[in-house]
């Protein structure tokens, strides 16, 4: 049904708009999918019909901006702004965990004006597990919004797309399975709508299944290249273990997957922006984001190959890993030129190359059949494996949890407290206390601090690093914050730091 809606919107682009919105990687995928779809429409000389919203604006495409995710009003304001003057809006809110207040605010707003807005929610939790925590200034919760949508879904006035895809391999990392499922589902919906609008292909169950099977093939072909992926993960891991970096140099839309994967490493693993970086041929011109070039915001936002050549390449050594990401239809002579320049500095050079025939270009991946969206998915899977695997090797995962998670919004604050409880076995109050002691860098908490709200704590967390690892070491060993800091400095792998303390 939502594919029928997509078709209707495409047939009347003047008055209609499809808006995809999300936070963090869900917003980045909203951008990727909307851009890809608009590009296809332009190729057919049709008007663009898609817009994207990402909490925190375009800087969140490339860097971690968790705080705006907590703000439902901000979500509404940004939605109103993009929809100005439109008579019909298909709003697609993405929240893998059915949890982001930013998206809940937007859905609630759509539900109040059904004449104009048709809300769709994409996520990967069962509806009864939607977040039911009060949100500042709101009478609704994510859960209550989901309940209202379920009711309206019966009459097709709202849509809930929430298949359960199972737990993530690394707990807390919805960027992986959840992100891939978002991309796959929405692209299937859009492709079906597109084919119905422009080639009069009826939308059928079989047709949808066929799209999904193409992605299944892409997944199978990708993972058939296990050895290549393993080699890539190992060299990226070694680079990170030695304090060196991994650079993704991409061409076309695949480069976006590199930018996205790199941007996720800071909030997910507490990585520095220089640890894993993405660059795109054509820079912001190719990115074509709403707010245009962002390089003036600082080095984190330097994304063009020219920036790489000028600022990163001169400092590369043979302990850094570089990954070239391209397809046979990109300008391969440019890729070769880049490869030669990189080779002068490091021999750890890999390629993720997609092609439709038996080309012999150095590649980890060959012969992914057909469309760029499948190549994108395949690239996403490979890069997610590389950045996750490399951080596992660096010791950033503890008992299958992303332990060095940022504590920069309410969801992450609660997640950090729960994680400490689970891993230390201590009661919630002691875990929260340990978390606050690290955040405020003191061994005794003042009444001022304990009475402050979560927003104050998460704001303070922006300037802190290794918050959860430090709190966990304090809880497990009983040592002071200063001691925990010096042990983790000496031995960043928590398990081994704890063993050191036990021996001392
Ligand atoms: O809070 C940050 C974050 O967890 C990101 O890592 C994630 O991509 C984003 O929130 C969105 O999560 P969800 O899709 O569940 O709303």
**Which residue owns the Cα nearest ligand 1 atom 16?**
95
172 CB near ligand 1 (under 6 Å): no
174 CB near ligand 1 (under 6 Å): yes
The DSSP code sequence of 474-489 is: HHHH---HHHHHHHHH
Comparing 2-16, 184-198, 208-222, 460-474, the range with the smallest average pLDDT is 2-16
| Whole-number pLDDT of residue 56 | 97
24 CB near ligand 1 (under 6 Å): yes
Domain segments of the chain: what residues? 2-164, 236-358, 403-503
**ipTM confidence:** 0.97
Confidence of residue 495 (pLDDT cuts 50, 70, 90): confident
Distance from Cα 23 to the centre of ligand 1, integer Å: 6
Q: Is 91 left (phi over 0), alpha (psi -120 to 50) or beta?
A: beta
**pLDDT (average), residues 144-167:** 94
Q: CA–CA separation, 203 vs 211, rounded Å?
A: 11
Residue for token pair 């992100």: 179
Distance from Cα 316 to the centre of ligand 1, integer Å: 32
Distance from Cα 392 to the centre of ligand 1, integer Å: 20
CA angle 386, 391, 392 (to 5 degrees): 100
Q: Is 89 exposed, middle or buried (0-12, 13-18, 19+ CB in 10 A)?
A: buried
**pLDDT (average), residues 410-420:** 94
How confident is the model over 222-277, as pLDDT tens digits?
A: 999 999 999 999 999 999 999 999 999 999 999 999 999 999 998 888 888 899 99
**Looking at the domain covering 2-164, what would its CATH class be?**
alpha beta
353 CB near ligand 1 (under 6 Å): no
Distance from Cα 174 to the centre of ligand 1, integer Å: 7
Of the two residues 389 and 363, the one the predictor is more confident about is: 389
Q: CA–CA separation, 214 vs 220, rounded Å?
A: 10
How confident is the model over 309-349, as pLDDT tens digits?
A: 999 999 999 999 999 999 988 999 999 999 999 999 988 89
Return the CATH architecture of domain 403-503: Orthogonal Bundle (1.10)
**Which residue owns the Cα nearest ligand 1 atom 13?**
95
Fold matches, 236-358 and 403-503: no
Q: CA–CA separation, 157 vs 118, rounded Å?
A: 6
Domain 236-358: assigned CATH number: 3.40.50.12620
Pocket test for ligand 1, best of 267, 404, 409 (most atoms within 8 A of CB): 267
**Can you tell me which atom of ligand 1 is nearest the CA of 182?**
14
Q: CA–CA separation, 261 vs 386, rounded Å?
A: 9
**Which residue owns the Cα nearest ligand 1 atom 5?**
24
Contact 172, 401 (CB under 8 A): yes
**Which residue owns the Cα nearest ligand 1 atom 9?**
24
Whole-prediction pTM? 0.92
Q: CA–CA separation, 467 vs 471, rounded Å?
A: 6
How confident is the model over 372-382, as pLDDT tens digits?
A: 889 999 999 99
**Can you tell me which atom of ligand 1 is nearest the CA of 100?**
16
Average pLDDT, whole number, for the chain?
91
Q: CA–CA separation, 124 vs 166, rounded Å?
A: 8
| Whole-number pLDDT of residue 362 | 36
105 CB near ligand 1 (under 6 Å): no
365 CB near ligand 1 (under 6 Å): no
């Amino acid at each position: 049904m939502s594919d029928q809606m997509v078709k209707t919107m495409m047939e009347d682009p003047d008055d209609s708009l499809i808006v995809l919105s999300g936070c963090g990687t869900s917003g980045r995928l909203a951008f990727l999918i909307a851009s890809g779809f608009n590009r296809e429409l332009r190729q057919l000389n049709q008007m663009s019909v898609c817009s994207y919203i990402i909490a925190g604006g375009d800087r969140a495409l490339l860097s971690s901006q968790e705080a705006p995710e907590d703000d439902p009003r901000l979500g509404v304001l940004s939605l109103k702004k993009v929809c100005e003057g439109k008579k019909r809006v298909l709003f697609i809110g993405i929240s893998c965990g059915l949890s982001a207040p930013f998206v809940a605010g937007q859905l609630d707003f759509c539900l109040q004006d059904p004449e104009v807005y048709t809300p769709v929610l994409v996520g990967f939790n069962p509806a009864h597990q939607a977040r039911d925590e009060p949100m500042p200034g709101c009478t609704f919760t994510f859960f209550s919004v989901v309940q209202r949508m379920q009711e309206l879904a019966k009459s097709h006035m709202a849509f809930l797309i929430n298949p359960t895809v199972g737990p993530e391999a690394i707990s807390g990392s919805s960027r992986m399975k959840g992100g891939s499922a978002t991309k796959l589902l929405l692209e299937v919906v859009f492709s079906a709508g597109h084919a119905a609008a422009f080639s009069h292909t009826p939308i059928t169950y079989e047709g949808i299944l066929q799209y999904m099977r193409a992605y299944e093939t892409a997944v199978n072909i990708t993972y058939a290249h296990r050895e290549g992926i393993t080699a890539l993960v190992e060299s990226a891991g070694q680079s990170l273990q030695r304090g060196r970096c991994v650079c993704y140099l991409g061409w076309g839309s695949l480069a976006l997957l590199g930018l996205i994967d790199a941007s996720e490493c800071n909030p997910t693993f507490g990585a520095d922006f220089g640890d894993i970086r993405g660059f795109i041929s054509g820079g912001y011109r190719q990115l074509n984001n709403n707010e245009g070039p962002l390089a003036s915001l600082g080095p984190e936002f330097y994304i063009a190959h020219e920036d790489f050549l000028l600022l990163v390449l001169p400092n590369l050594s043979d302990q850094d890993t570089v990954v070239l990401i391209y397809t046979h239809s990109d300008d391969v002579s440019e890729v070769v030129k880049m490869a030669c320049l990189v080779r002068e500095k490091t021999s750890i050079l890999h390629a993720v190359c997609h092609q439709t025939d038996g080309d012999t270009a150095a590649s980890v991946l060959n012969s992914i059949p057909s469309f760029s969206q499948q190549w994108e998915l395949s690239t996403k899977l490979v890069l997610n494996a590389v950045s996750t695997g490399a951080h596992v090797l660096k010791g950033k995962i503890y008992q299958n949890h992303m332990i060095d998670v940022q504590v920069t919004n309410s969801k992450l604050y609660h997640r950090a407290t729960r994680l400490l409880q689970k891993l230390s076995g201590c009661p919630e109050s002691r875990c929260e206390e340990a978390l606050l002691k690290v955040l405020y860098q003191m061994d005794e908490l003042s009444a001022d601090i304990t009475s402050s709200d979560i927003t104050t704590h998460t704001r303070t967390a922006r300037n802190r690093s290794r918050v959860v690892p430090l709190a966990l070491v304090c809880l497990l060993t009983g040592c002071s914050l200063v001691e925990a800091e010096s042990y983790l400095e000496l031995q960043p792998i928590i398990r081994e730091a704890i063993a050191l303390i036990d021996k001392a």
